[in-house]
Structure 1
Amino acid sequence: MNLLTPSLNKLLDLWIDEDIGRGDLTRLSVDNQIVSAYWVAKEEGVFCGGTLVEQLFHKFDSAIQVNLKVQDGCKFKVNEHILSLKGSAAALLAAERTSLNLAMHLSGISTATALLVEQLKGTNVRLADTRKTTPGLRVLEKYAVRCGGGINHRMGLDDAAMLKENHLAWTNGIETTIQTVRKSCPWTSKIIVEAETTEQALQAVEGGADGVLLDEMSPELILTLVPRLRHLAKVKNPNRSSNQIIIEVSGINPKELKTYANTGIDLISTSAPITRSAWIDLSMRFEEHHNQK
């Protein structure tokens, strides 16, 4: 995922302005001496945000040296050094809070994602995120999910057409609606139907949906439903593989991931890593020597 876009550059400027405002009032407490510092982990986790942190520090002072010791997507342990810094004391102090906030939030998402992905190891089922993201931070939070080993669901309403519960409540039927949406979508776009009942799931496949999201169904029901959906998809279109229909589940207890993963599905989507994760505690420490060259 590209993190060097103009839009993300503007976000960094916005976050800096939020914290600095009309100027750092503590700046005069230190001179322009060149000092060294490092980030240390106060708990274990999966790191995320290094590229952005480096950009952020350089916005304060392009001469700051940032040496990432832990790359995005890599695990770290308690007391491990995440990165080292060298530059103006005033610039490092001014950038400290915003950079740490960003990395701690994103690393929390990556860490929570990795814990869930670990439960799915060996099942061939992938963990996907949702659109339940912090406004303005979607790209970064979804990047953090990828760093934790998950995959991204649609980035927005223009990525794919997902017919959810409220859409279906105000339509003339699943099959008719799929046909209507298909006519207006680019041929590259996918159509996914969220099904809360067996009947809705079967209608979605019958109507030619590319994917079916089984919402809040028991693993016992899904275990019997998946073969029916794949068989119907094959009958409907003999020229394509029955596995070409993507079957996804959502609205489940994260503690039951392994149970659901053994039902023959392709994806499990959850908002939990983004909406329920705690920040990972990182801290910046200055080395005790001054007037470095």
Structure 2
Amino acid sequence: MAVQIDPDGDVLVNCSGAVTFLVSKKALALASSVLSWMLKAPVEGGLAIKDETSKYAVVSLPHQDPEAFRIFCEAVHHKSTSLSHIPTPGCLRGVAYLVDEYNCGKAMLYPAHVWLTQTVKGRSHEQLWDLLHLAYVANLREHFYDISRELLWTGKGRIRCWQYASEDLRIFSEAILDGFDNKHNLATHHFQRAIMRVVERFLPLQCQTPNEFMRDYLRDVKDSGTLPGSDALAEKSFQQIYTAAKHMKENFFTEHVGCSCYIFSGYAQRAKLLAWLNECWKGMGLCLPCVKNVACEEHSTAQ
């Protein structure tokens, strides 16, 4: 028995030979020009076959995941439950494959925005990669930026070395791995520079007080496992580096009376470090137009 997406539907779509859906030909045709062609009769170049025993023509999609197709159909048929129920990240990746294949990103723009708004926080690395697919095919630039930033923030090492991502480029090109690796290298540089900015500020000062302040800071950096060039730092994610910095003790610089170091009076090294790391975090996401190698109003060259 067919699953009724539209009780007044006029065509049956069979997915994977297992589940059949009663849908509106008009709703699917408006969502996708590819599906519009497929829903036509064979004499018109389509795939809709009707025999004398059936009230409806049948379109067979043997490779299509039934759950992803159901989610897609409920969205384009404007079913009230389509947005109140949030699919799993794995299901949304399946929807992304469908959107890419049938070129229906515009039709799924709003549903994808609603789903991604409510599904990103607290997700595993694998689930974030799944969600990135939908942001990519629906051309949701802000969601793509936020999800890619979270992947970089919580992950260790280069995305290219992560098998889950490198073996799942069905809708992505190699450019996305390049984008992640370039952004990872840049963020690594920025984080290490942020950690050493206190040293850069105080090193030129020629008196004992700033030297002691700087030594105490470097000791804290080493004890927290965030010393640039150390194995301990290399083993941490950016999120772990930030957490380690948050737990460093706060030292306030007290100037040496009559010395030029007075300009740093009250300098709070931990607060400054966290502010710099926050600035690094803000710029960690990937630009979707640059990844797709299309015109970008913000960047003159791809990342």
Q: Which has the larger radius of gyration?
A: 2
Greater strand share, structure number = 1
Normalising to structure 2: TM-score of the pair?
0.24
Write 1 or 2 for the structure with the bigger share of helix.
2
What TM-score comes out, normalization by structure 1 length? 0.25
